[in-house]
């Protein structure tokens, strides 16, 4: 499995798992604690994550929670542009992932702010221009699986075999990108995106099987419904469950964990690293 990314000509090591902090410039993300609309709140939130040891920040201006409403490209661009301006001014060397499925927004992030990674929940399924952009720029690309769209993805999702179905889907997508010369691909199974709770747990229980694709695996489990519904709690009370799920993902070979709570994620990585050093 590939153990590094090429970030603007520098190798970014993934032999030790990395933490991606979540920065939502949206008023309606499912976890209230991740929302930051005011300029001062954006800076405070990013500063706190950087201080806690985040290896990268994922900035998004479009809520993809179940049932989320569509917003215009103009609104998304305005949110993203404002946030990236604030972040780049304070942290010019910070590794930034841009969470968008729109090639126009991604192009702006690359050309105006030098973003390092594109994080596309649709795997260029919603905007075919994204495929061409990634191929042209050869920028590291997070490819997530989702069945349906945010507005309908949880309406009775079905699979023959969820793990096998995702593996075939990813293999086809990766082959298309690799044929265009794209080398830095990251796989995200898309927990909670067009999956039942049982689907999510089956994917997590078989996460190591995704290594057959040859690319790093990112997981986004932080405070999600598979935790909340299983434990009958709200996202605000789901940090302990998130730590457990992230620890399982790390033990099964996740290279990047996308989280709201950076300190706890870094501690999990450090403790597991100490444990593995004794084998």
Which residue has 């990268």 as its token pair? 56
Contact 278, 52 (CB under 8 A): no
d(CA 175, CA 179): 6
> Angle, to 10 degrees, between the axis of helix 129-137 and the axis of helix 162-179?
60
For residue 88, indicate whether it is catalytic. Answer: no
Contact 190, 200 (CB under 8 A): no
From the candidates 82, 224, 229, 274, give the one annotated as an active-site residue: 224
d(CA 18, CA 55): 6
For residue 258, indicate whether it is catalytic. Answer: yes
From the candidates 102, 173, 195, 258, give the one annotated as an active-site residue: 258
| Phi, then psi, of 117 in degrees rounded to 5 | -145, 145
Which residue has 């920065």 as its token pair? 23
d(CA 33, CA 239): 12
Angle (CA) 137-141-144 rounded to 5° is 145
Contact 23, 46 (CB under 8 A): yes
Identify which of 167, 166, 117 has the alpha carbon closest to the alpha carbon of residue 142: 117
Active-site residues, by number, are 224, 258
């Amino acid at each position: 499995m590939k153990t590094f990314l090429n970030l603007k000509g520098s190798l970014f090591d993934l032999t030790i798992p990395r933490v991606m902090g979540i920065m939502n410039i949206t008023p309606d993300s499912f976890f209230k604690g991740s929302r930051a609309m005011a300029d001062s709140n954006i800076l405070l939130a990013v500063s706190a994550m950087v201080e806690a040891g985040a290896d990268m920040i994922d900035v998004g201006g479009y809520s993809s929670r179940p049932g989320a409403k569509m917003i215009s490209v103009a609104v998304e661009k305005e949110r993203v542009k404002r946030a990236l301006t604030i972040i780049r001014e304070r942290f010019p060397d910070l590794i930034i992932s841009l969470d968008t499925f729109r090639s126009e927004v991604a192009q702006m992030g690359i050309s105006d702010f030098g973003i390092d990674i594109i994080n596309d929940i649709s795997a260029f399924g919603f905007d075919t221009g994204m495929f061409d952009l990634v191929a042209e720029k050869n920028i590291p690309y997070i490819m997530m699986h989702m069945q349906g769209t945010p507005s309908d993805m949880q309406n009775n999702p079905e699979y023959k075999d969820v793990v096998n179905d995702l593996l075939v889907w990813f293999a086809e997508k990766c082959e298309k990108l690799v044929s265009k010369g794209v080398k830095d691909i990251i796989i995200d199974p898309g927990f909670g995106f067009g999956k039942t709770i049982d689907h999510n747990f089956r994917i997590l229980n078989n996460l190591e099987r995704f290594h057959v694709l040859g690319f790093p695996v990112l997981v986004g489990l932080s405070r999600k419904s598979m935790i909340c519904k299983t434990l009958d709690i709200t996202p605000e009370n789901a940090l302990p469950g998130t730590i457990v799920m992230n620890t399982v993902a790390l033990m099964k070979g996740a290279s990047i964990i996308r989280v709201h709570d950076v300190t706890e994620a870094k501690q999990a990585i450090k403790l597991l690293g100490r444990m593995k050093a004794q084998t």
